[in-house]
Structure 1
């Protein structure tokens, strides 16, 4: 599902070069779960973005769902993301002018899916928020917003889900509920899961742990 081989990412700052990731390699098979961990500034989020085709790498190769990302233009990358990838972010990234239901429906409508409203309501029910369907993001708690974001992430039936600190903005109790929901939804859908976290307890719930330090795999 995801094959990362000898990936490096370098940022140019004036005359200086900053190597954020250096020669990273790992694989995640279909249906597996993996966590990327490491201290702040170790390159975790950068690596996740490269794997999801949100940014370009400078060396190596990444194959996502049988597609070599370096061979795709921006439209091709967008198509891969729309058809096969789900995202969950630390800051939820819900659209504030849309209701919970509309936020979940957006990816399905972009794909021209039939019965988008019915499917979105079913997903909201799965995350226990069917009764909040008509509420706007500003009217929901942080935990509720992240549950809406989870429902949205699964709305396009993704083959792989990338989650960046999915419980980072939540208190411990709420975070644990969101974690359980994430793993349950992932298992039921048979989705591959790759998450970034500083929480080793959460990381230990995955099948593989990818440890970074100073941009190097340790």
Structure 2
């Protein structure tokens, strides 16, 4: 199975005042197509920073990120944005829906950016898939947290991404709602053959994936295969 994501010798630091803070150091791992993969570790360990680098939202100080065969550091900002819109889906803890757009319009955005003339029809089908066919004309403020995250899931899968990055997808949800969203996430992921990379504090959620990468203090502490 070919690799969809290859991370080599990744390093990232931030400057705070006169101090330089190393957030990630010598990170190496690869993820195969259709794999489910969790990144876990305590707060401040560098998980979200790593996710941002993997997705091309930020640039490393050194090392390489190869996403779907493309080395990201060789791309301009616009080229990276184009690659993300074509190959990547995102689910965030705080949903990040556009407040001035309805649920249907939020889901249709990635498709419209690609010039898809069937954007509305496909968005309607995705909303039906996540159980929100009757909420398409509602704005985010008119939806519960669980409903907003289901809209975000539908949007994440709209462009049939090769890889989906989910950053604490249940972090703002109660346990019961979070469980439903997770079931839906894994169901859609399996159905569409997407690679799933999940950042989470929740070990129970991490154990649903095939492989678990543990980060502590910006370094890889462990990489284990989970029984799925």
Scaled to the shorter chain, the TM-score interval is over 0.9
In structure 2, what is the Cα distance between the partners aligned to 1:75 and 1:102? 23
The correspondence of residues 17-166 of structure 1 with structure 2, limited to 5 A, is 17-166=20-169
TM-score (norm 2): 0.95
Shift of residue 13 of structure 1? 2.3
Shift of residue 203 of structure 1? 0.2
In structure 2, what is the Cα distance between the partners aligned to 1:184 and 1:71? 34
Shift of residue 32 of structure 1? 0.2
In structure 1, what is the Cα distance between the partners aligned to 2:13 and 2:94? 26
Give the aligned length.
218
Structure 1 gaps, min length 5 = none
SS at match of 1:177: helix
In structure 1, what is the Cα distance between the partners aligned to 2:47 and 2:178? 20
In structure 1, what is the Cα distance between the partners aligned to 2:215 and 2:195? 20
In structure 2, what is the Cα distance between the partners aligned to 1:99 and 1:12? 39
- Structure 1: which 4+ aligned runs deviate by more than 4 Å? none
Shift of residue 188 of structure 1? 0.4
Aligned residue in 1 for 2:224: none
Structure 2 gaps, min length 5 = 222-228
Deviations 1:165-213 (A, max 9, x none): 0000000000000000000000000000001000000000000101000
In structure 2, what is the Cα distance between the partners aligned to 1:54 and 1:144? 26
Deviations 1:51-88 (A, max 9, x none): 00000101111100000011111011011101000000
In structure 2, what is the Cα distance between the partners aligned to 1:101 and 1:13? 41
Shift of residue 114 of structure 1? 1.9
In structure 2, what is the Cα distance between the partners aligned to 1:95 and 1:49? 20
Shift of residue 15 of structure 1? 2.8
Higher relative contact order (CA 8 A, sep 6+): 1
In structure 2, what is the Cα distance between the partners aligned to 1:13 and 1:101? 41
In structure 2, what is the Cα distance between the partners aligned to 1:78 and 1:101? 23
In structure 2, what is the Cα distance between the partners aligned to 1:80 and 1:99? 26
In structure 1, what is the Cα distance between the partners aligned to 2:17 and 2:107? 42
TM-score (norm 1): 0.99
Compute the RMSD of aligned alpha carbons. 0.6
What is the aligned counterpart of 1:175 among 178, 185, 195?
A: 178
Aligned residue in 1 for 2:208: 205
Q: Does 1:16 align with 2:14?
A: no
SS at match of 2:12: strand
